Amino acid sequence: MILHCVQDDNRYLMKPDVVGKQGAWFYTDAVKDHFFNPRNFLHGEPSEFDWNGRGQVGSPACGDMMYMWIKVDPATNRVADLKWKTFGCGSAIASTSMMSEIILRDGGMTLEAARKLRPQDVMAELGGLPARKFHCSVLADKALRDAINDYYFRSGQKEKVEVEAARMVDSVAKVTDHDIETAVLDGCDTLEKVQSRTKVGSGDPSCLAAAEELVRFYREKYFG
């Protein structure tokens, strides 16, 4: 795969020119389209966008950073507009771009529906991502939930703020991200060890990619 480093709005992005053959990393036409032509990207400053909810996840130190701003219509509880910026790879850019399109369709999702949108739903519309890049799609998901929480906090609806530790990862095996965090803190430094400890994926195998990303996230958070 040939990569070019391109400066865009003071961001340096690695852009793929050649799609790998079978067995290599493969990016669909939809992924490439959303990477080269990201929808709802904020080209200016946040002050230029009329937002009432802001989300932020990641760390510049580890290379992945996502900012998201939403404009919620309080009369309908729908996301009327959404903007984002990221310091991340092509998969993160494409995933966030596609997610923003999904959120804003048909007048905008309700906050309740937006919270239920999964990275797997975004990946399905993109036609998939390389397995090792699934974690990039989780970045936008986390930023969206953070922005929704921020909106509820700012609008005085604190009872609707969802604590991230209570988020269900495997709804069949009843494993939350807090369970995975605890397992990592107790020394489970691989997905296999976390599976043995929590049984995540035994009820819903489709959640394993998200579980693996959480293991990586908590391992880096606590152990560098």
What values do phi and psi take at 108, rounded to 5?
95, 140
Catalytic residues: 62, 136
Between the alpha carbon of residue 24 and those of residues 178, 186, 210, the distances in Å are 34, 35, 21
Per-residue pLDDT tens for 9-28? 333 333 333 333 333 457 88
Which of 133, 160, 187 finishes a domain? Answer: 160
Give the residue numbers spanning the domain of 173.
Answer: 167-223
Both structure tokens of 215 = 């293991």
Which is nearest to 16 in space by CA: 91, 66, 128?
91
DSSP 8-state assignment for residue 40: T
Clarify whether residues 79 and 154 are in a common domain. yes
Query: pLDDT 10s per residue in the chain (224 long)?
Result: 333 333 343 333 333 333 333 334 578 899 999 999 999 999 989 888 999 999 988 755 555 788 999 999 999 999 999 999 988 788 889 999 999 999 999 999 999 999 989 888 888 898 887 766 666 677 888 899 999 999 999 999 989 988 765 678 888 999 988 889 888 888 899 999 999 999 999 988 989 988 998 898 888 876 76
Per-residue pLDDT tens for 74-116? 999 999 999 999 887 888 899 999 999 999 999 999 999 999 8
Which is nearest to 17 in space by CA: 39, 38, 37, 32?
32
Q: Specify the number of domains making up the chain.
A: 2
Both structure tokens of 87 = 């310091």
Contact 66, 96 (CB under 8 A): yes
Under 8 Å CB-to-CB from 209, ≥6 apart: which residues? 119, 131, 134, 135
pLDDT of residue 123: 85
Any idea what the CATH number is for the domain that residue 192 is in? Answer: 1.10.10.1100
Under 8 Å CB-to-CB from 93, ≥6 apart: which residues? 13, 34, 35, 38, 86
Strand partners, 6: 13
Strand partners, 16: 3
Clarify whether residues 103 and 37 are in a common domain. yes
Contact 101, 117 (CB under 8 A): no
Question: Is 72 contained in some domain?
Answer: yes
Question: Is 65 contained in some domain?
Answer: yes
Clarify whether residues 152 and 203 are in a common domain. no
